[in-house]
Amino acid sequence: VNDTIAPSAIKSVFIDESNKAAAAFTIVSAHPFYGIKTAYGKLVINTVTKMWSLSNAAGKVLISHGSLISTGKSIQFTHAAGGRFYGSGNMSSKELEKNKSASSVGNGVVGIPYFWNSLGYSAFGVTANDDDPATWDRANNNTSLTWKFPGKAANLYLWPASTIYDGAKGYVKLTGRPKLPPRWAFGYLQSQWGWEDSTYIANTATKFRTHKLPVDAFIYDFEWYTTTPDYSVKKEGKADFTDFTFNPKLFPHPAKQIAELKSQGIKSIGIRKPRLGNTALLDTARANGWLVSPNTDSRDLNFSNAGLQKWYQEKNKPLIKAGIDAWWNDEGESYYTCYYWWNKTQYDQLAEVRPNYRHFTINRAFSPGDQRFGYSTWSGDISSSWESFAEVPKDLLNFSLAGMYYGACDIGGFKGTPAKETLIRWFQAGVFFPIMRAHNDLGTTARFPFLWGDDGEAAMRKALNLRYQLLPYIYSLGHEAYNTGAPIMRPLVMEFPADTAVANLMDEWLLGKGLLAAPLLHEGGKRDIYLPNDTWYDYYTGEAIIGGKTISVTKALDEIPVYVRAGTILPVGPVIQYSEQTSATPLEIRIYPGKNGSFNLVEDDGTSYNYTKSQTRTTSYYWNDKTKTLTWAVTGSYTGKNVYKNIKAVLGTKEKIV
């Protein structure tokens, strides 16, 4: 969008610079038309009118008239009527279908300069200043839209994409593949603001284990590193505020305590804030120009500063060496790329202190490219109401369509104490979120299942058991996301794009292609569920249901509506108490007949980046529905931990074992 700056001169952290491979192309030149043609399509410019067009490989015109608006800061183009737009995050709208994007991030909300259009193409805008991103707006026009670029220098990436899957594949090719978090992060993560002391932590761990409540990590709020929050701290800070130490009330012997928790299968995650509270540290930051707004009362750090990055890494190093496994990054919305630079700083440090250990963080927002870090985003500091709960799937599905593969939320809500039924239903929904994490505000009842009565505990235990049984499936979907860009949590429109009933459906969703979750999002134990046109099986009873209709269900407090699509091969593991626990119980490969099916079960060490070097074991299962035959083939040489030794194939229907 600037005739004095070459596209290659626009450097953006959104773009994965490690992926330099360009598609083969040929030049199209027939006066006055000039352009390029690849295996995917053709982009041609009329050198006289300066108008351009985009076509797919079959010759279908996707964008008929593209032009640079006279201000030099916008690109406008025309396409056929009837297209639906998906992507762009949840800031401009929480609906799946979008009419525009936003250009900022907030508390659990994001605007991403990317969309996929159902007419068959995707677009991604990049400006010269990543902190002032591009936006698009169709202005209620069914046949045209405008991309707006702050400043004159910008790049607009366009690619033919017949499906949302194709759009996502192109997006991660540009912005980077979503690295897998460690396998334990796919388990249940127990967070709260209000851990009291070291005895309280130890007793909580004991109760989880003795009550047979699976958990893989404890997440600590302010109290793990300081005695009081910093919200009342002034510009100059406080002399006695601690930013980079363990609070001795909770961790008098940090390394020993964290090691003891790890011996029980419980990792430790600590909150981090993007600012400083200690006077001496603030003086150092100001003297070096490390604050975002040095002439204001803000204490927020500018993580894009190389000097600050090195200093911050040194300050955090003792915490990692003591055993902290991951970070929970909160309140980093002061500039658009804060979480990117913050995570890069942490990612680079972990690579130095704990080489080849997977980086994992939980963050309150995201920007393009953050998925390269093993990155999760939760939906912000929400309330504990039914209404707030019902909004969560909207947020996470929009995250999935905007390049954030590991969505999460505060199960039970952050503000206030939920009703028991609300919390139970929230736990049940959380089974089918990419990251399952509960949290609560200071002074509210912790979301520990054993605090909610025998019936509440039993229902939440049942949900947790299901989460851990589905770990082989969900973890394999994480590998699919890394390899193809397909999200783990998917709106039904991805699999049923021609079904207008699911075009904006968000209160039920798919994990992968075959597992449909329709949890109870409102009180009373009743709901309607739309099943698209296919054969579906009740996960628990094996009953077959012909889709293309809406059904009504009534479920007891401990029951979850879950359905499996015909042709699905679903790995179901044993009930375990943490992700790395071994069991002699065989892995079940459940087959849901009615169509041919396939699934890739991926196993690896769960903690290193060796999977990026193909050090995995992939078992590709194939179901021939005509012959009722299951076959499989194994590729990859990995034989270490997390490999299932005993496997049993069963039908997921009412029929008997294969």
Helix, strand, coil percentages, rounded to 5, for the chain: 25, 25, 50
In the DSSP assignment, the letter for residue 519 is: -
Q: What is the pLDDT of residues 300-326, one digit of tens each?
A: 999 999 999 999 999 999 999 999 999
Residue 305 sits in the same domain as residue 364: yes
434, 454: one domain: yes
- Only one residue has tokens 């995707």, namely 122
Sign of dihedral through CA atoms 277, 280, 286, 289?
Answer: negative
Is 165 contained in some domain? no
Q: Domain range for residue 593?
A: 569-651
Among the listed residues 69, 67, 64, the one whose alpha carbon sits nearest the alpha carbon of residue 42: 64
pLDDT at 70: 57
- At residue 1, the pLDDT reads 57
Exposed / middle / buried, residue 524 (Cβ in 10 Å: 0-12, 13-18, 19+): exposed
Give pairs for 501-504: CB < 8 Å, separation 24+: 501/530, 501/532, 502/530, 502/532, 503/84, 503/96, 503/97, 504/95, 504/96, 504/97
The arithmetic mean of pLDDT across residues 592-610, rounded, is: 98
Q: Is the pLDDT of residue 656 over 70?
A: no
Strand partners, 110: 105
Shared-domain flag, residues 83 and 213: no
User: What pLDDT shows up at residue 527?
Assistant: 98
Question: Where among 535, 563, 591 does a domain terminate?
Answer: 563
Look up residue 42 and give its amino acid.
K
Q: pLDDT (tens digit, 9 = 90+) per residue, 527-543?
A: 999 999 999 999 999 99
**In the 8-state DSSP scheme, what is residue 378?**
E
Gap between the Cα atoms of 421 and 637, Å rounded: 46
For residue 657, the model assigns a pLDDT of 34
Write down the pLDDT at residue 139: 79
| Listed residues 449, 484, 519: the one ending a domain | 484
- Shared domain for 474 and 581, answered yes or no, is no
Q: Over the stretch 210-241, which tens digit does the pLDDT of each residue have? A: 999 999 999 999 999 999 999 999 999 999 99
Q: Would you list the DSSP string of 27-46?
A: EEEETTEEEEE-SSEEEEEE
Mean pLDDT, residues 174-185 taken together: 98
Mean pLDDT of the region 512-522: 99
pLDDT at 297: 94
pLDDT over 60 at 630, yes or no:
yes
CA 317 to chain centre: 27
- Whichever domain contains 141, its CATH number is 2.60.40.1760
Q: What is the pLDDT of residues 126-162, one digit of tens each?
A: 999 999 999 999 977 788 899 999 987 889 999 999 9
**Rounded to an integer, what distance in angstroms lies between the CA atom of residue 311 and that of residue 301?**
11
Q: Provide the whole-model pTM.
A: 0.97
Angle at 251 between CA 413 and CA 261, to 5 degrees: 70
Indicate which CATH number applies to the domain containing 594.
2.60.40.1180
Indicate whether 357 and 265 sit together in one domain. yes
pLDDT band, residue 4 (cuts 50/70/90): low
Structural domains counted in the chain: 4
In this prediction, residues 99-118 reach a mean pLDDT of: 96
Cα angle value 261/471/346 (rounded, 5°) = 55
Residues 436 and 516 placed together within one structural domain of the fold: no
Residue 356 lies in a domain: yes
Average pLDDT, the chain: 96
- At 23 the pLDDT is 83
257-275 average pLDDT score: 99
pLDDT digits (tens, 9 = 90+) for 547-574: 999 999 999 999 999 999 999 999 999 9
Calculate mean pLDDT across residues 44-53. 93
Task: Based on the fold, state whether residues 428 and 477 are members of the same structural domain.
Answer: yes
Instruction: Report the 10 Å Cβ neighbour count for 317.
Output: 14
DSSP characters over 607-646 = SSSGGGGT--EEEEEEEETTTTEEEEEEES---STT--S-
- Tell me, what's the pLDDT at 658? 34
Residue 369: which region, alpha, beta or left (left: phi > 0; alpha: psi -120 to 50)? left
**Strand 489-490 versus strand 436-438 pairing type:** unpaired
Q: Are residues 573 and 554 in the same domain?
A: no
> What is the Cα–Cα distance from 32 to 29, expressed in whole angstroms?
8
- Shared domain for 603 and 476, answered yes or no, is no
Residue ending a domain, among 484, 501, 517, is: 484
Question: Bridge-partner residues for 249, per DSSP?
Answer: none
In a domain, 168, yes or no: no
Residues 634 and 601 in one domain: yes
Q: Is 47 part of a structural domain of the chain?
A: yes
- The DSSP call for residue 402 is T
120 vs 59: CA distance, rounded Å: 12
Compute the distance between CA of residue 356 and CA of residue 372 in angstroms, rounded to an integer: 15
Domain membership flag for residue 656 = no
Least confident window among 144-158, 202-216, 246-260, 429-443 = 144-158
Q: How many CB atoms lie within 10 A of CB 48?
A: 9
What is the per-residue pLDDT across 180-217, written as a single tens digit (0 to 9) for each?
999 999 999 999 999 999 999 999 999 999 999 999 99
608 Cβ partners below 8 Å, 6+ apart? 356, 357, 358
Q: Give the pLDDT of residue 71.
A: 62
Residues 595 and 552 in one domain: no
Residue 549 included in any domain = yes
